[in-house]
Amino acid sequence: GKRINGAVNSALSNTQDDYVAAVDVMLKSIVTALLESDVNIRLVSSLRNSIRNTLLENKNRSMGSMQTKKLVQKTVFDELCSLVDCEAQPFQPKKKKQNVIMFVGLQGSGKTTSCTKLAVYYSKRGFKVGLVCADTFRAGAFDQLKQNAIKARIPFYGSYTDTNPVKVAADGVSKFKKEKFDIIIVDTSGRHRQEEELFQEMVEISQVVKPNQTIMVLDASIGQAAEQQSKAFKDSSDFGAIILTKMDGHAKGGGAISAVAATNTPIIFIGTGEHVHDFEKFSPKSFISKLLGIGDMESLLEQYRTVSNKEDHEATLENLQKGKFTLLDFQKQMQTIMKMGPLSNIANMIPGMGQMMNQISEEETSTKMKRMIFVLDSMTKKELESDGRIFTEQPSRLVRVARGSGATVFDVEMILMQQQMMARMAQTSRAAQQGGGMPGMSG
Ligand code: GDP
Ligand code: MG
């Protein structure tokens, strides 16, 4: 119920012109950012209006411009989170019951990969899981699932000769049911040569396997097509959850917001790579932070806590909580990150780093990180404990560190830039904890 009545509106426009103008400027930059991240145009526009109304309603005359900015930031963040934070309860498989999970989604979206990831996820939690390949359309589909399943040690079912996907699905499910499997995951085809036929096939398969849960797989790079596509799948297969794949790539998954909004269906997991363990529970806050470019501070801290030596890093965590991040913190973090691997995943959580590392191989990434560590090792205690500005004040330090580590001055500058980014993120993150924050809008 966010509305604004004419009285409030005119009162504001008479006395609070500056406030309204400031809100509009901030909203404009946010709208641009959201559109660039593929968030649905209509959604952005309604979001803009709803945020604007909230802001105008909440306007407190004594509020300063800093407070106004914080309020804008918090409102945008909260509104976006509430868009992807579906209230619908996700499916929970029941032990001692046979749960059938069916996958739908276009070819190439990542169904077969995500099927295996989900199978491993449940298998680790004590469920007996089987995989059924009902993609009889694409040559090699069964071999792909089979290879994935063997690698992950998940029992599988499929056929090289039977070309009827409905029959193969039914046979596989009944086989695993007889064998008392807890969870039976059915992978389907996603050919799009004749869309009608694909949707008809989904209807028929779901009639015979009677899934307890249907999951739609969506590629994060889907963009504006997400709404139409998810609606079409919803009509034919009434899925109850979404898995968003390829979140390790350049796309930030803005399109997924419209899929959630159009179908009122929650995202449950995200795929963050091709490997079976590149699979994470969906978190609205992390997702929106990443979309807005805040960097995934929460996940990073979480991972950091699990691998870092507690005493060694207490100081860093303390600094981060204070909104600080020194070069020494950066050095410790680099050392920890080397232990966290695979590096490309970690790199994605650090703003600016993911893009830098995306084009290069794991090996090159590792070499690059090692070089960064050499550079940091060549700094003095005073330099490390500083916020990095000491290098701008005394550029001769740059040259000394570069020489000492066999790097170029440019390499050193890059590292300083990264530490600065982290420092800003620490600040933003602290601001967010204290009531909403967004990048590029602090100060
Ligand atoms: P399907 O046609 O829907 O079954 O899609 P696949 O599971 O065969 O995946 C298509 C391609 O996307 C494969 O090369 C996968 O390795 C890749 N893939 C799937 N999920 C992810 C992911 O989360 N990240 C990345 N980088 N690649 C993925
Ligand atoms: Mg497939």
Residue 351 CA to ligand 1 center (angstroms) comes to 24
User: What pLDDT, on the 0 to 100 scale, is given for residue 12?
Assistant: 41
Mutate to test the pocket of ligand 1, among 113, 120, 216, 345 (most ligand atoms within 8 A of CB): 113
Looking at the structure, tell me whether residues 181 and 210 fall in a common domain.
Answer: yes
Residue 203 CA to ligand 2 center (angstroms) comes to 18
In a domain, residue 358? The reply is: yes
User: What pLDDT, on the 0 to 100 scale, is given for residue 117?
Assistant: 96
User: What pLDDT, on the 0 to 100 scale, is given for residue 315?
Assistant: 77
In a domain, residue 158? The reply is: yes
Looking at the structure, tell me whether residues 330 and 251 fall in a common domain.
Answer: no
Looking at the structure, tell me whether residues 150 and 235 fall in a common domain.
Answer: yes
CA distance 182 to 180: 6
Query: What is the sign, positive or negative, of the torsion defined by CA atoms of 403, 405, 411, 412?
Result: negative
In a domain, residue 241? The reply is: yes
Q: Confirm or reject: Cβ of 271 under 6 Å from ligand 1.
A: yes
User: What pLDDT, on the 0 to 100 scale, is given for residue 250?
Assistant: 79
Looking at the structure, tell me whether residues 168 and 268 fall in a common domain.
Answer: yes
Q: From first to last of its 443 residues, what are the pLDDT tens digits of the chain? A: 233 343 344 344 445 567 777 778 778 877 887 887 788 888 888 888 888 887 777 766 556 666 666 677 677 778 888 888 877 777 889 877 899 999 999 999 999 999 999 999 999 999 999 999 999 988 899 999 999 999 999 999 999 999 899 999 999 999 999 999 999 999 999 885 677 888 899 999 999 999 999 999 999 998 888 988 999 999 989 899 999 999 988 787 888 998 998 899 999 999 999 999 899 989 888 888 777 765 555 555 555 566 666 666 677 778 777 878 888 888 877 777 666 655 555 555 555 555 454 445 566 667 777 788 889 999 999 999 888 889 989 999 999 999 998 888 988 998 898 888 778 877 776 665 554 434 333 33
Looking at the structure, tell me whether residues 201 and 57 fall in a common domain.
Answer: no
In a domain, residue 37? The reply is: yes
Looking at the structure, tell me whether residues 62 and 108 fall in a common domain.
Answer: no
User: What pLDDT, on the 0 to 100 scale, is given for residue 9?
Assistant: 41
CATH code assigned at 408: 1.10.260.30
Residue 109 CA to ligand 2 center (angstroms) comes to 8
* Residue after which a domain boundary falls, among 240, 260, 292: 292
Number of separate domains in the chain: 3
Per-residue tokens: 109: 């979206």
Per-residue tokens: 93: 């498989």
Mutate to test the pocket of ligand 1, among 109, 274, 276 (most ligand atoms within 8 A of CB): 274
Nearest ligand 1 atom to alpha carbon 105:
3
CA distance 189 to 205: 11
Q: Confirm or reject: Cβ of 245 under 6 Å from ligand 1.
A: yes
In a domain, residue 115? The reply is: yes
- Could you tell me the residue range of the domain that residue 379 belongs to? 297-433
* Residue after which a domain boundary falls, among 272, 292, 312: 292
Cα–Cα–Cα angle for 413, 419, 423, rounded to 5 degrees: 140
Per-residue tokens: 116: 């295996």
Looking at the structure, tell me whether residues 61 and 126 fall in a common domain.
Answer: no
Residue 258 CA to ligand 2 center (angstroms) comes to 24
Looking at the structure, tell me whether residues 272 and 325 fall in a common domain.
Answer: no
